[in-house]
């Protein structure tokens, strides 16, 4: 088991009132799974992703990631889990604009304390894997959207994480680039990488092996309606 | 760390104008301090070299009444002030760091010095021992010095300095001639000059008064044995001691004072041996110039403070601008201290570059000052080192608030920030 959410609740404070965002979420993700979580905006899917990504904490309930109870972790330990066990892919890539593709991919290794030579090698390897061996020294501004997202995927995978967590990975891409990214995800999953992807597009979610729906903070196996 | 510095340079150079404007406060502050300190140091070194000049390290111990040196041309020697004995002289020679001891008598403005009909108005007469010329820093220019014979019995020989030579023997060679002191004929055996070629740098009339203590129109030296021929045999002596180095002058002077004052029993307690060395004078003059300039340094320091606030301001802007970057880095596993280190390094690098530019500007500025204002400057390496460290500290201190703010950003908020 990669992760398990048990009776997760999350409230946000708005002034003095607690606004519930997630209600009684129960979810477990097995090794090698490819899960898509679908939901409209405001459904709480981003909050869910933040909790799974150890960027935010639940109000109540239990979150176990890779046999660790996350609620007991301190900031330092959370940083380490994010660094070594989770690879993030964001909608808007979040690459550092003044650094080359290679340097961007090296970043998680830098925080993991890997030495320079090994960083270079492993980052280059990751870029080869996403098919960008001829773009290593390009800056993000010199790359297309699809290429940028592939750099981001290389960065997510460079530390061989337990989980690839993607938030609307195709949201900022044209259809063709989006398809390429999905193709890459499928390949990674075939190699055994566990993937959780958040999206609001049915076509994208269909690439996953399992789809969950989130609506008004509640998770279900069923599509809550055709309004998506 | 090295990575941080590299990234800081990258960041700073990608905002050239902004970085330069941020640094400006630091640049001006450091440049001002370097220029001021260099000028102060230059002035101080000039004072010191003007006063100590010859590098002779000699300390003069003379008889004073209160604040004034006694002159037996006009005053009678006080009772209870014996002639310095050989034993006392030995004691003086044994003072730590004392190299040469010379005893001498002196009268200023002696009016009865003649060569033929030419008079030496306002000349001084010195009754000296064999060590005097080396201790006081004279060398024989022509003729010869006093030999052993001159200090035995009462040889009426005289050595005159070049000033006296010019007055008494204009255009003539004085050696071998006879001059008349207080009605006694003395044979000129040599001409002495101050051995150092040193000329004090004099910029103003005040400087002239300050450094040009030798107001006599000429000096003539006779062997101490000949002193009683024209003056009193029991006149108190002064003493000149050469110290091993400049720094031991004061201690040697004090020790000599103590020894000599132990030998006297004068009723008037204001009459005492007092040492005067030029180092002390130089230091007291330097103190004067230092204290007025401390204020100026403080004002320049305010500029550094303002510069620091500018750095803080721009760093806060930078943190806000890079909120997403910070969020991303945290998501990728950067710990608080990594973010803190990154921003602190950037602030320190920024102010250090400012500091370095300031140093260069400060050196240029002080050279210009020395050129146009005719003030000596001495670039002090200590002040340069202090400036670099200080500007770094300014960066770290004023970068602290923005860096802590960056380190404490919540990664979700930071990632969502548009």
Could you report the per-residue pLDDT of B186-197, keeping only the tens digit for each?
999 999 987 764
Among the listed residues A98, A101, A93, the one whose alpha carbon sits nearest the alpha carbon of residue A137 = A101
Interface test with B, best of A57, A79, A115, A156 (most B CBs within 10 A): A79
d(CA B10, CA B4): 10
Domain check: are B249 and B324 in the same one?
A: no
Minimum Cα–Cα distance from B331: chain A residue: A82
Helix (H, G, I), strand (E, B) or coil at B214: coil
Two tokens, residue A130: 């996403």
pLDDT for A139: 93
| A91-141 pLDDT per residue, tens | 889 998 888 999 999 999 999 989 999 999 999 999 999 999 999 999 999
Contacts of A88 in chain B (CB under 8 A): 331-332
Tell me how close the Cα of B332 comes to any Cα of chain A, in angstroms: 5
The pLDDT of residue A160 is above 60:
yes
d(CA B381, CA B363): 11
Domain check: are B94 and B121 in the same one?
A: yes
Last residue of a domain, which of B269, B300, B321?
Answer: B269
- Across A104-108, A129-133, A174-178, B48-52, least confident range: B48-52
Yes or no, beta carbons of B330 and A79 under 8 Å apart? yes
List of E strands, chain A: 3-14, 17-29, 34-38, 60-65, 68-69, 86-89, 163-167, 194-199, 210-215, 218-220
Has residue B275 been placed in a domain? no
d(CA B383, CA B36): 10
Cβ atoms within 10 Å of B386's Cβ, excluding its own: 15
Q: Residue holding tokens 């045999």?
A: B233
Minimum Cα–Cα distance from A84: chain B residue: B333
The pLDDT of residue A150 is above 70:
yes
Domain check: are B44 and B73 in the same one?
A: no
pLDDT for A227: 43
The pLDDT of residue B55 is above 60:
no
Helix (H, G, I), strand (E, B) or coil at B312: helix
Among the listed residues B314, B311, B385, the one whose alpha carbon sits nearest the alpha carbon of residue B348 = B311
Minimum Cα–Cα distance from A159: chain B residue: B332
Two tokens, residue A14: 């708005």
pLDDT for B387: 82
Domain check: are B254 and B330 in the same one?
A: no
Buried b / exposed e along B266-286 (16+ C-beta atoms within 10 A): beeeebbbbbebbbebbbebb
Yes or no, beta carbons of A83 and B10 under 8 Å apart? no
The whole domain housing B405 covers 2-50+285-416
Rg (CA), chain B: 33
Domain check: are B178 and B309 in the same one?
A: no
* Mean of per-residue pLDDT scores for chain B: 84
d(CA B106, CA B163): 17
Minimum Cα–Cα distance from B3: chain A residue: A110
Q: Residue holding tokens 């001691």?
A: B241
Has residue B163 been placed in a domain? yes
Domain check: are B80 and B228 in the same one?
A: yes
pLDDT for A228: 43
Has residue B280 been placed in a domain? no
pLDDT for B310: 86
Average pLDDT for residues B130-137, to the nearest whole number?
Answer: 87
Among the listed residues B215, B263, B216, B255, the one whose alpha carbon sits nearest the alpha carbon of residue B237 = B263
Has residue B62 been placed in a domain? no
Contacts of B328 in chain A (CB under 8 A): 90, 94, 96
Q: Give percent of chain A above pLDDT 90.
A: 70
Q: Give percent of chain B above pLDDT 70.
A: 90
Average pLDDT for residues B329-337, to the nearest whole number?
Answer: 90
Number of structural domains (chain B) is 2
pLDDT for A184: 93
DSSP, res B270: T
Two tokens, residue B303: 């500029």
d(CA B63, CA B72): 10
Domain check: are B258 and B314 in the same one?
A: no
Domain check: are B265 and B337 in the same one?
A: no
Last residue of a domain, which of B242, B269, B296?
Answer: B269
| B26-41 pLDDT per residue, tens | 898 889 888 888 888 8
Has residue B358 been placed in a domain? yes
Task: Point out which residues pair with B221 in neighbouring strands.
Answer: B126, B159
Buried b / exposed e along A11-26 (16+ C-beta atoms within 10 A): beeeeeeeeebbeebe
C-alpha to C-alpha distances, A126 to A134, A188, B258, nearest whole angstrom: 13, 12, 86
Domain check: are B242 and B292 in the same one?
A: no
pLDDT for A143: 93
Yes or no, beta carbons of B335 and A79 under 8 Å apart? yes
Has residue B396 been placed in a domain? yes
Using the Cβ of B184 and the Cβ atoms of chain A, whether some distance falls under 8 Å is answered with: no
The residue length of chain A stands at: 228
| B241-267 pLDDT per residue, tens | 988 887 788 888 889 989 999 888 888
* Mean of per-residue pLDDT scores for chain A: 90
- Across B140-149, B199-208, B246-255, B409-418, least confident range: B199-208
The pLDDT of residue A53 is above 50:
yes
Last residue of a domain, which of B208, B241, B269?
Answer: B269
B401 Cα distance to chain centroid: 43
Average pLDDT for residues B258-281, to the nearest whole number?
Answer: 83
Domain check: are B253 and B291 in the same one?
A: no
What is the pTM (predicted TM-score) of this model? 0.66
Has residue B194 been placed in a domain? yes
Interface test with A, best of B9, B329, B332 (most A CBs within 10 A): B332
Domains recognised in chain A with CATH numbers: 3-220 (3.40.50.300)
- Across A174-178, B216-220, B365-369, least confident range: B216-220
Q: Give burial (CB, 10 Å; 0-12/13-18/19+) of A72.
A: exposed
Has residue B55 been placed in a domain? no
Which one has a higher pLDDT value, B82 or A104?
A104
pLDDT for B206: 64
Q: Residue holding tokens 């921003």?
A: B343
Domain check: are B376 and B331 in the same one?
A: yes
Yes or no, beta carbons of B333 and A155 under 8 Å apart? no
**Closest partner CB to A88 (pick from B11, B325, B331):** B331
pLDDT for A226: 46
Domain check: are B212 and B344 in the same one?
A: no
Contacts of B415 in chain A (CB under 8 A): 55, 90, 94
């Amino acid at each position: 088991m990669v992760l398990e959410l048990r009776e997760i609740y999350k409230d946000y404070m708005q002034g003095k009132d607690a606004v519930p965002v997630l209600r009684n979420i129960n979810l477990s993700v097995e090794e090698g799974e490819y899960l898509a979580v679908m939901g409209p905006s405001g459904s709480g899917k981003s909050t869910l992703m933040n909790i799974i990504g150890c960027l935010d904490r639940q109000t109540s309930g239990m979150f176990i990631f890779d046999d660790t109870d996350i609620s007991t972790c301190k900031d330092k330990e959370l940083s380490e889990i994010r660094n070594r066990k989770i690879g993030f892919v964001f909608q808007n890539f979040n690459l550092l604009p003044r650094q080359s593709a290679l340097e961007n991919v090296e970043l998680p290794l830098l925080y993991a304390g890997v030495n320079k030579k090994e960083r270079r090698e492993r980052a280059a390897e990751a870029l080869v894997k996403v098919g960008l061996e001829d773009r290593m020294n390009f800056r993000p501004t010199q790359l297309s959207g699809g290429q940028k997202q592939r750099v981001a995927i290389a960065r997510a995978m460079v530390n061989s994480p337990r989980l690839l967590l993607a938030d609307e990975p195709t949201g900022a891409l044209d259809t063709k680039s989006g398809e390429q990214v999905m193709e890459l995800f499928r390949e990674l999953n075939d190699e055994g990488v566990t993937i959780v992807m958040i999206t609001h597009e049915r076509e994208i979610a269909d690439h996953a092996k399992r789809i969950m729906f989130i609506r008004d903070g509640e998770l279900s196996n069923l599509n809550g309606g055709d309004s998506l | 760390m090295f990575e941080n510095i590299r990234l800081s340079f990258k960041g700073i150079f990608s905002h050239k104008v902004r970085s330069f404007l941020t640094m400006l406060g630091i640049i001006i502050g450091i440049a001002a301090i370097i220029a001021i300190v260099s000028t102060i140091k230059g002035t101080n070194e000039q004072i010191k070299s003007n006063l100590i000049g010859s590098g002779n390290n000699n300390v003069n111990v003379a008889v004073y009444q209160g604040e004034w040196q006694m002159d037996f041309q006009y005053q009678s020697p006080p009772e209870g002030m014996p002639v310095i004995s050989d034993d006392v002289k030995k004691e003086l020679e044994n003072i730590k760091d004392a190299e040469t001891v010379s005893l001498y008598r002196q009268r200023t403005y002696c009016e009865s010095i003649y060569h033929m009909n030419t008079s030496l108005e306002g000349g001084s007469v010195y009754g000296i021992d064999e060590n005097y010329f080396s201790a006081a820093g004279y060398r024989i220019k022509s003729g010869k010095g006093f030999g052993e014979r001159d200090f035995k019995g009462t040889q009426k020989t005289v050595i005159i300095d070049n000033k006296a030579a010019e007055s008494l023997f204009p255009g003539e060679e004085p050696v071998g001639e006879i001059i008349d002191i207080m009605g006694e004929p003395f044979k000129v055996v040599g001409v002495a000059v101050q051995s150092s070629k040193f000329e004090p740098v004099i910029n103003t009339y005040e400087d002239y008064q300050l450094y040009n203590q030798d107001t006599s129109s000429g000096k003539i030296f006779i062997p101490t044995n000949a002193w009683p021929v024209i003056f009193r045999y029991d006149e108190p002596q002064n003493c000149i001691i050469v110290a091993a180095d400049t720094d031991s002058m004061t201690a040697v002077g004090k020790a000599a004072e103590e020894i000599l004052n132990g030998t006297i029993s004068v009723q008037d307690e204001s009459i005492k041996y007092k040492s005067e060395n030029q180092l002390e004078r130089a230091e007291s003059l330097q103190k004067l110039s230092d204290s007025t300039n401390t204020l100026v340094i403080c004002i320049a320091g305010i500029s550094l403070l303002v510069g620091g606030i500018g750095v803080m301001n721009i760093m806060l802007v930078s943190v806000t601008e890079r909120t997403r970057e910070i969020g991303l880095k945290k998501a990728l596993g950067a710990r608080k201290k990594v973010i803190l280190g990154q921003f602190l390094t950037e602030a320190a690098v920024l102010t250090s570059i400012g500091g370095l530019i300031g140093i260069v500007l400060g050196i240029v500025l002080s050279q210009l000052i020395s050129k146009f204002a005719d003030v000596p400057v001495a670039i002090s390496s200590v002040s340069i080192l202090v400036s670099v460290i200080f500007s770094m500290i300014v960066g770290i201190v004023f970068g602290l608030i923005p860096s802590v703010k960056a380190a404490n950003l919540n990664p979700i908020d930071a990632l969502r920030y548009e």
